[in-house]
């Protein structure tokens, strides 16, 4: 009973390699030992547990698919997904830290950076010795990041950066920020901004009811002088940050399964033990309906996501396929969290169990990395060839 159960109704383990299972099981054991016992407390206090950073690095939580020459683990996309699943089984906020560091900070430096930038940042980011954040969203540009107003001007020996980003995960403690800003021609580029640069501040966002164990903040640039060597030279345009989002959204699709599994596992256990009217509530048709639908939805999501992982390994997954999985899985998880909470009755609203925390966390997960609506519109545009955003 003190191990996580791992719903595997369709024997998906048969589709995994020994390496996948090893990576997953070590992440699972670490989450059980280092995250689950402390996370409720940190969430209640609205504090990120910084002491887990080193361990997150050790289980492959930071850039597991980055090649070993840059400090990564050189793992495939399924291993990356399984690590995200296990971390989010613990808490979506911890998975956020991992997603941001992996897919939104290490990924752009690896894909769009030059060799010097890779060697300077990636090994330290992989261990967590250095932490990063990703600044795309602005106060007036969330779903429509292409409208951003943050900008930089060429001043000869440096760039001068001005503007503000909002809702940035890890911002309050990050050592570096990958910031997306427009140049004088209105072309979007990525810049690495380092803590300590004059005019750069990261005020924390308080009073969140969701993702409380993750630190969120703003990035404010007031005439920040950014050295020219900090521009990511490999790719520009909105497609550059959107490429990072493909990787992060893929990880979130797996992560949401982890949160759903934890809610299902908790509710199933509780339903078998909770006696009302002289029998376990699990023996009633109403509670069985909830539990049976949960395992069905988890199984469907697992299959969808495993297939997406294979497509990513083959370099064939499209943005629209990733949107479908992110949208489906987060919606699946949030519905399961809500039903699971009801199975626990009054106990479901307390911090004695993880369900209410997952439920509140998932309100952020269904909004960030593209809202539930935006992902539907991405699918709609893909199947009709007609863009409904604008
Ligand atoms: P659109 O005209 O569709 O595209 C602009 C240009 O980008 C190209 N492109 C891509 N390139 C690479 N990869 C992709 N996935 C791409 N998708 C599009 C596209 O071909 C085009 O290129 P070009 O050369 O023609 O200019 O752009 P749009 O302005 O219509 O917007 C499309 C839309 C709405 C889908 C997009 O902007 C969007 O996805 N909006 C949602 C914003 C979002 O997801 N923000 C996330 C912020 S980060 C975050 O939330 C982190 S949470 C922390 C955590 O992960 O835990
Ligand atoms: P809006 O874009 O204003 O959307 C409001 C509503 O309008 C939504 O329901 C949306 O679906 C709907 N809508 C928008 N456009 C359309 C349309 N064309 N048609 C129909 N409906 C539409 N961003 C980062 O850059 N980095 C981070 O690290 C990061 N971390 C985050 C952490 C948290 C906890 C949260 C909550 C957000 C984070 N974000 C981050 C920002 C996140 O990506 C945005 O909140 C998200 O993209 C939505 O933008 P918005 O909040 O401005 O909502």
Provide the phi-psi class of 293: left if phi over 0, else alpha when psi is between -120 and 50, else beta. alpha
Which residue in 88, 138, 218, 369 is the catalytic one?
Answer: 369
**pLDDT for position 7:** 86
**In this predicted complex, what is the ipTM?**
0.97
What tokens does 333 get?
């998880």
- On the 0-12 / 13-18 / 19+ scale of CB atoms within 10 A, 273 is exposed
C-alpha 323 – ligand 2 centre gap (Å)? 14
Q: What is the pTM for the complete model shown?
A: 0.97
Q: Are 161 and 226 in contact (CB under 8 A)?
A: yes
At 111 the pLDDT is 98
Name residues of the chain where pLDDT drops below 70. Answer: 1-4
Question: Does ligand 2 lie within 6 Å of residue 245's CB atom?
Answer: no
Interatomic CA distance for residues 31 and 25, integer angstroms? 10
Q: What percent of the chain has pLDDT over 90?
A: 98
For the chain, the three-class secondary structure string (H helix, E strand, C coil) is CCCCCCCCCCCHHHHCCHHHHHHHHHHHHHHHHHHHHHHHHHHHHCCCCHHHHHHHHHCCCCCCCCCHHHCCCCCCHHHHHHHHHHHHHHCHHHHHHHHHHHHHHHHHHHHHCCHHHHHHHHHHHHHCCCCEEEECCECCECCCHHHCCCEEEECCCEEEEEEEEEEEECCCCCCEEEEEEECCCCCEEEEEEECCCCCEECCECCCCCCCCCCCEEEEEEEEEEEEHHHECCCCCCCHHHHHHHHHHHHHHHHHHHHHHHHHHHHHHHHHHHCEECCEEHHHCHHHHHHHHHHHHHHHHHHHHHHHHHHHHHCCCCCHHHHHHHHHHHHHHHHHHHHHHHHHCHHHHHCCCCCHHHHHHHHHHHCCCCCCHHHHHHHHHHHHHCCCCCC
Please give the distance, rounded to the nearest whole angstrom, from the Cα atom of residue 144 to the centre of ligand 2: 8
Q: Is the CB of 301 under 6 A from ligand 2?
A: no
Other beta carbons within 10 Å of 25: 13
- Please indicate whether residue 329, judged by its CB atom, sits closer than 6 Å to ligand 2: no
Tell me how far the alpha carbon of residue 144 lies from the centroid of ligand 1, in angstroms. 8
> Is residue 379 in contact with ligand 1, taking CB distance under 6 Å?
no
Tokens read off for 327: 């949208």
């Amino acid at each position: 009973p003190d191990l996580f159960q791992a719903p595997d109704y369709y024997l998906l383990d048969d589709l995994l390699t020994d390496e996948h299972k090893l990576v997953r099981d070590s992440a699972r054991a670490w989450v059980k030992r280092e995250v689950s016992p402390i996370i409720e407390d940190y969430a209640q206090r609205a504090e990120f547990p910084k002491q887990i950073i080193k361990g997150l690095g050790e289980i492959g939580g930071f850039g597991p698919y980055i090649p070993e020459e840059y400090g990564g683990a050189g793992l495939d996309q399924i291993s990356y997904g399984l690590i995200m699943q296990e971390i989010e089984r613990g808490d979506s906020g911890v998975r956020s830290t991992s997603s941001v560091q992996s897919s939104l900070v290490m990924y752009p430096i690896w894909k769009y950076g030059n060799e010097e930038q890779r060697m300077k940042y990636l090994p330290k980011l992989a261990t967590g010795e250095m932490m990063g954040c990703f600044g795309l969203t602005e106060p007036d540009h969330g779903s429509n990041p292409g409208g951003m107003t943050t900008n930089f001007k060429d001043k000869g020996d440096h760039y001068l950066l001005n503007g503000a980003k909002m809702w940035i995960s890890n911002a309050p403690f990050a050592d570096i920020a990958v910031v997306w800003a427009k140049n004088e021609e209105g072309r979007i580029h990525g810049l690495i901004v380092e803590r300590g640069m004059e005019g750069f501040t990261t005020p924390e966002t308080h009073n969140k009811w969701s993702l409380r164990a993750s630190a969120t903040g703003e990035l404010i640039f007031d005439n920040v002088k950014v050295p020219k060597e900090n521009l990511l030279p490999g790719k520009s345009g909105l497609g550059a940050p959107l490429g990072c989002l493909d990787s992060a959204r893929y990880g979130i699709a797996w992560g949401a399964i982890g949160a759903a599994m934890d809610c299902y596992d908790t509710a199933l256990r509780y339903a078998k033990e909770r006696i009302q009217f002289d029998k376990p509530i699990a023996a009633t048709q109403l509670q069985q309906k909830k539990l049976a639908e949960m395992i069905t939805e988890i199984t469907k999501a697992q299959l969808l996501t495993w297939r997406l992982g294979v497509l990513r390994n083959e370099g064939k997954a499209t943005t629209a396929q990733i949107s479908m999985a992110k949208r489906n899985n987060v919606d699946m998880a949030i519905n399961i969290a809500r039903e699971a909470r009801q199975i626990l009755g009054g106990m479901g609203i307390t911090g004695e169990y993880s369900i209410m925390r997952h439920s509140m966390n998932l309100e952020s997960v269904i909004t960030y990395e593209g809202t539930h609506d935006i992902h539907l519109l991405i699918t709609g545009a893909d199947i009709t060839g007609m863009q409904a955003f604008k």
